[in-house]
Chain A
Amino acid sequence: MSENGKEQPRDRVHTFAVYVEDKPGVLNRVASLFRRRGFNIESLAVGHTEKDGVSRMTIVMEADDLIARRVEANLYKLVNVLRVEDVTNQPAVTRDLALIKVKADASERAQVLQMCDVFRARAVDVGPEALIVEITGTEEKIESLCELLRPFGILELVRTGRIAMTRGSEVPSINPEFVAAEVPNGISN
């Protein structure tokens, strides 16, 4: 509780789907915005979309609702950002992908593979001393598998960061092309 009795907003994980023009430097503009406003990115994944010239970023950050709204407004302010969706409160599918290199010789391999099975993860490369496991799922699921594999020795770990998509057939329309309206040039007294 704050001094004036209003409840302080609490931090929680927010997920934004951000549609941007696929142009050089746009990732830098977005990253720079987070840095200079002191917003902390937990993960950022970016790639092409179904539409030519449009990329989509999934940005995950921990923030209270007020900060989250400021992030949204600040993202919109970037000229190359087409649309921002805070999908935190929407029914959505979220996925993270991890590749995990686990130390496992012939004697341990079967045990590791068995665990992977439970998590619907699969071995994508097997060597005499180690194997690479691929897993997709929520962050929690990936964390759990990592916990179980840690005793064998995780040699390397790489993750894509979260990507998200809302459920249902409704597709968010990326802003219609904005055509500049006339603005006055010169002062009016």
Chain B
Amino acid sequence: MKRTGAQIVWEVLTQEGVEVVFGYPGGAILPTYDAMLDYPVRHVLVRHEQGAAHMADGFARASGKVGVAMATSGPGATNLVTGIATAMMDSSPIVCITGQVPSAAIGSDAFQETDVTGVTLPVTKHNYLVTDVADIAPNMREAFYVARSGRPGPVLVDISKDAQNATIDYVPQDGPWRLPGYRPDLRALPEEYERALELIEQAEKPLILAGHGVLMSGAMQELLKFIETTQIPVAMTLLGIGGLPASHPLNLGMMGMHGEAWVNMAIQEADLLLAFGMRFDDRVTGNLKTYAINAKKIHIEIDPTEINKNVPVDVGIVGDLRETLETLFPRLPEKQHTDWLAHIDELKGDAAVRDIQSLPDTGSLYAAHVINDLWRFTDGEAIIVSDVGQHQMWEAQYYRHEKPHTLITSGGLGTMGFALPASMGARFARPDEEIWVIVGDGGFQMTAAELSTCSQEGLKVNVAIINNGYLGMVRQWQEFFYERRYAATPMHNPDFVKLAEAHGLAGRRVEQRAEVEDAVEWAREEPGTVVIDFRVEQEDVVYPMVPAGADLHAMIRRPSPIVETAEGEAS
């Protein structure tokens, strides 16, 4: 059958099962947009291409499928870059399709021409420049395959306008794809499994570090079986949250810069670390020279370049986490780590009295209270899409996720402005679930224009702005490390309630803790997207905190009247 390149784009998208595309039209992608009208794919018109990439990313994280974003050449494509880099750092499978100027004009600095494959090279898993209509289908199919296989990631396909306009005889192909250099199927040698089992057998103070890989490989059940046999406690990375129910007695909580004190102490005291699908980011290790120096390390990771990158390990097992745990399982030793677990419990006791939830109510509205209440009033069952900053850390500490894939957040790149558009993508993946955006007043304003998209597309998400009138995390660093010189962190914000109303959406302001429950109930009842402006304590601080580059055990702890009084009496 005769098809234009533009039609082939949609043929392939439908063949890949794509039901929704997030995008923004423009000159070089016009042929493809024109062809779109004849295909049963929903298009969501974003207000800025960055939003399209985040929506595709949010869709991918909430569904496990490949998300798709579309943009025109030049500025359209460069606006995608932040979203692509975000997806790259968090291994999120998205395919971005961009229009390119006609092939004869490539390299001539034509109107809206940018070397998009060049620009996105370091932030994509792979990319393609397509100038021949015959390459559109095979390259797009490869793009989807590369995006979702192995360690997933973003792939960009840049298609010149003449290739979109050209016509060929199109026969749908269903592989095999010719990718001679691509090896997503690497597996460890049997010796590695032997050595891992040996170390597990010998360990007295073992600890699992569970990362995003648990969720990406779908290894939740395998992790559960693993720990129930070996009784090894688990520390979570930010992106690992949800991989093990928060209420599981062996789930210690989050590690790292704002991880729980007992978790970081346990890491430093462990004699064996089992890193499951995580990459020893500097935000979880602190100073590498003093990081878990007494521990042997086993690293199970699908991406061989991550093994021995930051932390030298004793055993590196390359492979899919779920398959690896399945392979190990039949030979796992049954263990009880009574002393070790009791010791961790002791470490916990001290932290509990410092917890803000245990402190006397001062009448102020604290972000941690808002998030804790949100957790209670949504029965811990909502999908939370958090942005980047203090609220993100409070979310990770106080919203206890029982189910996998219920926290979506930009971990690796730390992209402010991610949450609102990502939540809109997630909405398409999980149409019937409650979705809450937790976002700061700074990050919200980076992509707030997407409220307009919510309105036009009739999307329902609940936006909780944790509004402290500052770029809170930066302010916190200024407070600790720059003598409270608040350079460029105070924010004069618009009236967020009116902003919501201007978009035809409902808004509400909350200033007292007593109003939180009612506001949450109200948001759940409202049919459309709502914005709640939580006016929280302005100069609040996320505790504990490991200063950047400091030793993991050198945490700044929350000052506690209870602890201080006790220490005062003791001395």
Contacts and interface: CB of A to CB of B under 8 A. Distances in A.
Contacts of A94: none
Interface string A69-89: 110011011111111000000
Given A21-B181, A73-B304, A179-B177, A188 B122 contact: no
Interface in B27-77: 63-66
**Interface size for chain A: under 10, 10 to 19, 20 to 34, or 35 or more residues?**
35 or more
B220 interface: yes
Interface stretch (B145-153, B386-394, B563-571): B145-153
Nearest to B403: A189
B181 A4 contact: no
Contacts of A79: 125-126, 146, 179, 181-182
For the residues of A in contact with B, the DSSP-based class is: loop
B118 interface: yes
Interface stretch (B78-86, B202-210, B256-264, B305-313): B305-313
A185 interface: yes
B121 interface: yes
B102 interface: no
Contact of A3 (B117, B182, B289, B404): B289
Contacts of A25: 117, 129
A66 B308 contact: yes
Contacts of B220: 189
B176 interface: yes
B491 interface: no
Interface stretch (A28-36, A129-137, A155-163): A28-36
B494 interface: no
For the residues of B in contact with A, the DSSP-based class is: loop
Contacts of A70: 305, 308-309
Nearest to B217: A188
Nearest to A80: B181
B490 interface: no
B64 A188 contact: yes
Nearest to B152: A183
27 contacts: A20-B181, A25-B117, A28-B121, A32-B121, A36-B122, A74-B305, A76-B304, A79-B126, A79-B181, A79-B182, A82-B180, A174-B180, A175-B180, A177-B178, A178-B182, A178-B183, A179-B176, A180-B179, A181-B185, A184-B218, A185-B64, A187-B64, A188-B218, A189-B218, A189-B220, A189-B404, A189-B405
Interface of A: 3-4, 20-21, 24-25, 28-29, 32, 36, 66, 69-70, 73-74, 76-83, 174-181, 183-189
Please provide the 10 A-B residue pairs with the shortest distance between their CB atoms, ordered closest to farther: A187-B64, A188-B218, A179-B176, A73-B305, A73-B304, A79-B126, A82-B181, A183-B149, A186-B64, A180-B177
